């Protein structure tokens, strides 16, 4: 298990972590608690910091984010206009721009995925015109889904797999499965090919001649079975 799988850090996570360091959230849960703080505790270099959590305004209670937005705009009229209105859905111009942008983005995504569908390895595992026995399809399709998940959701995803023990455990087992599928298994399959080439040089009964082939093929079956069991046992974790 000495093989290292390349995993680039997500630029999205880097940006969010950087912004949170520059402009950290204020740890309050009510609007009054926020404005009771001295200014040096709720702003940085003249820029107000946002609270980490406030109630959602329901039934015109006016005690959560809406109330905070109104009060902060009074105290910081220019900043408040830019940060709480100019780029907010209450601004009809911004709302129209966002809706137009979303329509273009969704249209582009639909065309892109029509030409280049999601989970490409899975789609290649069982082509529409190809017949495969279900016993083989169970193996081919699920292992292809595992590869798709790794490449599209882990390598290029936004989940912090080191955030807690559950994520760390799943990631470590997933990585071990990927090392098997991408490195150890192909190596074993190449050894099987060599073992078949050596069969002609062996003498004796069938079990003796094909002993090495059978041993290596059993290793492949056991390795794939372990990976498939891991997928079933952890199927609730395969989402992002």
Indicate whether 144 pLDDT > 90.
yes
pLDDT band at 15 (very low <50, low <70, confident <90, very high): low
Rounded-to-integer distance, Cα 149 and Cα 7, Å: 13
Least confident of 87-96, 115-124, 174-183, 224-233: 115-124
Q: What percent of the chain has pLDDT over 90?
A: 51
Indicate whether 80 pLDDT > 60.
yes
Indicate whether 13 pLDDT > 80.
no
Q: Which DSSP helix (H) or strand (E) runs through 172?
A: helix 165-179
Q: Looking at the domain assignment, is residue 63 inside a domain?
A: yes
Rounded-to-integer distance, Cα 71 and Cα 14, Å: 31
Q: What is the mean pLDDT of residues 20-25?
A: 77
Assess whether 152 and 230 both reside in one domain.
yes
Domain of residue 45 covers: 11-75
Q: Looking at the domain assignment, is residue 26 inside a domain?
A: yes
- Number of DSSP helices (H) and strands (E) in the chain, helices first: 12, 2
Report whether 141 contacts 122 (CB < 8 A). yes
Query: How many domains, in total, are found in the chain?
Result: 2
pTM over 0.75: no
Q: Looking at the domain assignment, is residue 92 inside a domain?
A: no
């Amino acid at each position: 298990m000495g093989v290292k799988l390349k995993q680039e850090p997500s630029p999205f996570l880097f940006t969010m972590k950087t912004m949170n360091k520059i402009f950290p959230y204020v740890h309050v849960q009510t609007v009054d608690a926020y404005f009771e703080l001295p200014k040096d505790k709720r702003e940085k270099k003249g820029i107000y910091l946002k609270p980490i959590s406030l109630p959602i305004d329901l039934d015109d209670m006016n005690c959560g984010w809406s109330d905070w937005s109104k009060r902060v705009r009074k105290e910081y009229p220019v900043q408040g206009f830019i940060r709480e209105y100019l780029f907010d859905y209450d601004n009809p111009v911004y709302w129209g721009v966002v809706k137009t942008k979303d329509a273009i983005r969704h249209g582009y995504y639909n065309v892109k995925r029509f030409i280049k569908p999601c989970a490409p390895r899975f789609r290649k595992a069982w082509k529409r015109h190809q017949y495969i026995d279900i016993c083989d399809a169970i193996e081919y399709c699920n292992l292809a889904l595992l590869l798709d998940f790794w490449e599209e959701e882990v390598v290029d995803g936004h989940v912090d797999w080191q955030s807690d023990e559950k994520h760390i455990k799943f990631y470590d087992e997933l990585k071990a499965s990927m090392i098997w599928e991408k490195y150890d298994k192909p190596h074993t399959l190449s050894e099987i090919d060599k073992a078949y080439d050596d069969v002609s040089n062996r003498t004796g009964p069938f079990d003796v001649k094909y002993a090495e082939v059978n041993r290596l093929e059993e290793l492949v079956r056991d390795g794939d079975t372990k990976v498939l069991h891991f997928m079933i046992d952890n199927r609730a974790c395969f989402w992002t």
